[in-house]
Structure 1
Amino acid sequence: MALAAALPDLEILGAEVVRLNRPQAGMLFGSGKIGELKHRFAEDGVELVLVDGAVSPVQQRNLEREWNVKLLDRTGLILEIFADRARTREGVLQVELAALSYQRTRLVRAWTHLERQRGGLGFVGGPGETQIEADRRAIDEEVVRIRRQLAKVVKTRELHRAARRKVPFPVVALVGYTNAGKSTLFNRMTGAEVLAKDMLFATLDPTMRGVALPSGKKVILSDTVGFISDLPTQLVAAFRATLEEVLEADLILHVRDIAHPETEEQAADVRDILDSLGVDEGVPLFEVWNKIDLLAPPLRDALKVQDARNPGIHAVSAITGEGIAPLLDAITGALDDERQETELVLPFSEGRKRAWLHDRQLVRAEAEGKDAWRVTVRWTSRQRAAFDRLEG
């Protein structure tokens, strides 16, 4: 229901949980349920049916014909929402790329018949090019075009990131399940006016702002797209670039809607996606338990006790501002790691480690010897630990 409600101008007429002992290969549901739903859809004037799960291309085609409606499965619905939310050039291109990848799988699996053929000259490879092959080729050409455009956008973003490294402000990334309140917290901490609404995927494109902490230290705060369970594989790949800021973060704030009945399951989904992205285990992570203003006083007090006992947990309300000051103090403490100067001897075979140091602007001086580089670096203990985990 929440996913459906995220699409604007969509009137939701109802929802039902249909239990399936075994999904039917051609129609997903059994004939009795299909007939029952067909009658109900006709009575209510339903034009769009949403299935919160995977529907094969053949099942989609057959159900649309039987019910005389448009049908979207979970992946198709999420793509529609993302298309509606995208604002930046990169966001639009990422959505288009994900949609084309999704359409191509529908194409390949749905049209298994061979009567859709266009005539050929006969002497170049058989009876001519089938329509499915022509459509597949057209999609592939469009994918190549979009990837070229994305490469330019990504190059520009990398230049911006390189420029930020030269002004070495730490990056603090907000991550969390969609609608956990990340953008509201972002606005509270930065004074910005990023779109913050009570709806899924209100933020799709990453937003960054500079923030001065109470100590005077400056950091870059990054708001990111909300995660969701069973994220379509097309979107995991397409939006990996959008989440690259998380991979470079010096501190991650995992924002949780602590008032949500499924907050534990949502948190597990976020942790799984962070693992799949390859986030460095050495990067400090705080759990920010947001929306405590929605809780009854006894439960709110209990959460505050956990907050006090665990330095990695912070109970806050981005709406009222409660708990924000201690969170900012904790961020300051986590990022105020004392820097030390160290001299390293790196054999020429360890060029990757040398490049890593230069990428992060840690090198203070360097001399090239007969068999190795002598590199003087200034770094934090956390940066040294990350360096030690590198290979070659």
Structure 2
Amino acid sequence: MDFENKLDSVAALERLQSVIKHTPLEYNTSLSEKYSCEVYLKREDLQVVRSYKLRGAYNMISQLSEESLSKGVVCASAGNHAQGVAFSCKKLNTRGVIFMPEITPKQKINQTRMFGGNMIEIILVGDTFDDCLKEALTYTEVNKMTFIPPFDNYKIIEGQGTVGVEILEELPDTDIVIVPVGGGGLSAGAGVYMKKVNPAIKVFGVEPEGAPSMSRALQNDGPVTLEVINRFVDGASVKRAGELTFPICREVLDELILVPEGKVCTTILKLYNEDAIVAEPAGALSVAALDFCADQIKGKKVVCVLSGGNNDIERMQEIKELSLLYEKLKHYFVVNFPQRPGALKLFVNKVLGPDDDITRFEFIKKIQKEYGPALVGIELKSADDYSGLVERMEALKFDYKEINRDLTLFEYLV
């Protein structure tokens, strides 16, 4: 592998020693018992900027020439990469210009500003990351600065690979490492190092189902640009895998697992409720993947890289909702209530089961709201209760349409 000579994550870790935290590798009892193996969590959510992204950003910026540092650096990011660059700019006393989409939540803007202080300037531009990136690249060229990409650079990849160095220093007999995959910087860097030290180790990559850029690249034998992606798992949702990271991932990934966004949400809630871990969606990907490789990990020593913990608390209601939908515990119906007295009372008393709960109810019509079609959200205690619910609706002659399975209607009404 030619790229091995361009990546030295051991040297990068030396470079980063005074900047990053050596994050803990924690044995997780409940996950280990559930999957009949030894599960360890690499806690990058406890990193200085609450994600591994600092490793790559600092590794690249710290190796720039004095002349380049004097001119400053530029990046485009709405999240963890921006915070890593901001922290590095303040630490290295170099000016940074950080482009973020106009829709970036204030929490992320404030975090980035906190880490960068007066060494950075934040420019909000465009409605999408792609618009933002275009502006950032133009600004970089006009001002003769250095662009710091989020993943597609050997120094970035090398820095992210220090996660793998720390894992094998602490647990050299690891059998399987599971890493989230967005653009591929972490999986490429960690994968190269770990395979070099122990060729028998298995590296499983995990992508969100709605943004399978690396999966598509592997199928196509080269990166392709996805027209539409689901951006919910924002730390790992990219439209195109890296030109440098793709060939590396093709060599070092033994498997690439796609995980539904709803499953990620369930995992976030379980990590919080059972382990008091605040994981962002991308950070939970590796743990969410365990169900999809349960047979392969039995009896093995497995490390899940929990890549970040920058989760905005304002998202928790959305996360809970997506989890309930995925677990088939929440269903939305359009129910056409007949024009007869007591129809709603009949629905509540005879259709709903003893543990069913109406979480949303609104008549759709703007006039004569006391009857006609209504949007009804119902939360179940068990997914097995669903069949009884629809049987009772049909037996009592309620005309209904479930909209969970109709994406267009769901997005329009819910």
Settle same-fold status: TM greater than 0.5.
no
Q: Which has the larger radius of gyration?
A: 1
Query: Which structure has more RCO (C-alpha within 8 Å, separation ≥ 6)?
Result: 2
TM-score, scaled relative to structure 2: 0.26
